[in-house]
Amino acid sequence: MLYAKIIAYMGTLKILLLILLTPLVSCSQNNRDYFGNITDVTIPASAIVTREEHNKMGPGYAKVLEVNLDADATNRLLISIEKSHYYKNIEPILTRSGPKPLIQYGQYKGLWYRQKNGYVFFGTTLNDRDVITATFDPTKKKATFGIFAD
């Protein structure tokens, strides 16, 4: 009788853990898709999420996703950036409001460009309300994506 109760308790515990952990996995995938869609890249599924934040500040918010990549995922992200509608192999004009020129694609305008330590994305929503940023350092195999709104 005691044995049956222990097994029933363990089954309940497994279900509870599954329910609690599912949103974490789902949230990571949703953020990969979210930032991938905004910056027009594919964030590899093998990328390991090292930081995920969503902060609400009054009417504004900030959302950040940071990932570490293995060699294959680094290569796939690099290819994805260079295929992005926002990528131009140019030296942008850096201004106080961000690099110029920005390329309009879908609901955003932005630009992926190279810097000495990797790639940078800067973009905004069409109404300039939200600012989107991303950095990708192939040497460190690390990428960070962020969106910030007032």
pLDDT in tens, 89-121: 888 988 888 888 999 999 999 999 999 999 999
- The owner of tokens 């005691």 is 2
Q: Quick one: average pLDDT of 21-46?
A: 77
- For the record, the structure tokens of 63 come out as 């959302």
- For the record, the structure tokens of 117 come out as 């330590």
Is residue 3 within a helix (H) or strand (E), and if so which, with residue range? helix 2-39
- Split into its structural domains, the chain has a count of 1
Domain that holds residue 103: 2-149
- The owner of tokens 């994305």 is 121
Closest CA to 87 of 79, 76, 95: 79
- For the record, the structure tokens of 118 come out as 């990797």
